[in-house]
Amino acid sequence: MQLLDGKFLSKQIKQEIATEVAQIRERGGKIPHLVAILVGNLGRSETYVSSKMKNCEEIGMKSTLIRFDDTVSEAELLAKVEEVNNNPDMDGLIVQLPLPAHISADKVMETIHPAKDVDGFHPINIGRMAKGLPAYVSATPQGILEMLKRYEIETAGKHCVVVGRSQIVGLPMSILMQRNTYPGNCTVTLTHSRTQNLAEITRTADILVAALGKPEFITADMVKEGAVVIDVGLETVPDPTKKSGFALKGDVKFDEVAPKTSFITPVPGGVGLMTICSLMQNTIKAAQGEIYS
């Protein structure tokens, strides 16, 4: 068993990005600028956004955080999105999910201009990705692909089972893994909460991607010997042994699954750090007009 070490890889990738940003600065180019909109004060969202802003600072990019109370109207939020769309200094825009129930996340995502949609959530970017055209790819799946590539994990002809069908991870992951590229060329099975005989299907996976948001759902009896296991989950569960009173767990029961695998991601220290790197990479592309010129 070998760890797919997101901490190590993200440090390496961030150094590469920092070098690229420094070169842009030296030649007088435009410094990439990421804007994040945060609605409310949900603890996990605060952590995610502050991490993204901190990483921008570390690699020399510009960042702006726009905050709203969770009572903000949908119209006011959409107006702010349009304001960022129309600001040529602002290259990438993310609106941190989840949003309050009175705001349509779909409407917000569709209002972000595709050229600034560095999260890869706009229908145009999802459609272009599905067709294999240049697009901003959703940051978590893109981070997973980068991880598979840098660890030189063979994917062609393998059976990839994705557990979870969200538009943010599961669906784009299933599309990307079947494309005629590397990583890719897999036979893909997309499973979800209504899938019958789920364990029978996951046991056939050469590459298993767990992205369903249920702590320690994937157990040893659901994984075949030698599988590559990618754990996208990150949930807080009560743990009286911790000073904070809780622990972070993934969708995979790590201690019992890990011995059966050839490669596995830890939680934390795995996929989440790669997601942030992907976001930075997409923001540089946005600043340079690489996808939409």
3 three-class SS: strand
Asked if 223 contacts 208 with a C-beta cutoff of 8 angstroms, the reply is yes
d(CA 283, CA 293): 14
Strands of the sheet containing 62-68, edge to edge, are 62-68, 33-39, 92-95
Which residues, other chains included, contact 185 with Cβ-Cβ below 8 Å and sequence gap of 6+? 155, 156, 157, 178, 179
> What is the model's pLDDT at position 293?
72
Q: What is the pLDDT of residues 215-226, one digit of tens each?
A: 999 999 999 999
- Tens digit of each residue's pLDDT (9 = 90 or more) over 225-259: 999 999 999 888 888 887 777 888 999 999 999 99
Digit-coded pLDDT (tens) for 136-179? 999 999 999 999 999 999 999 999 999 999 999 999 999 999 99
Closest alpha carbon to 264 in 272, 254, 275: 254
In the chain, where the domains are located: 28-114, 139-272
Query: How large is the C-alpha radius of gyration of the chain?
Result: 19
In this predicted model, what pLDDT tens digit does every residue of 109-125 receive, in sequence order? 999 999 999 999 999 99
Contact 34, 283 (CB under 8 A): yes
pLDDT attached to residue 237: 81
DSSP state letters, 149-185: HHTT---TT-EEEEE---TTTHHHHHHHHHSSSSS--
Task: Identify the pLDDT of residue 41.
Answer: 86
* CATH fold label, 139-272: Rossmann fold (3.40.50)
pLDDT at 280 over 90: yes
CATH architecture entry for 28-114: 3-Layer(aba) Sandwich (3.40)
Q: Which residues belong to the active site?
A: 52, 96, 119
Q: Measured between alpha carbons, how far is 133 from 46 in angstroms, rounded to an integer?
A: 33
For 121, the token pair is 């959530």
Phi, psi of 184 (to 5 degrees): 155, -155
**What's the CA gap between 241 and 233, in Å, rounded?**
21
Provide the CA 152 distance to its chain's centre, in angstroms.
20
Q: How far apart are CA 169 and CA 211, in angstroms?
A: 7
**pLDDT, mean of residues 182-188:** 97
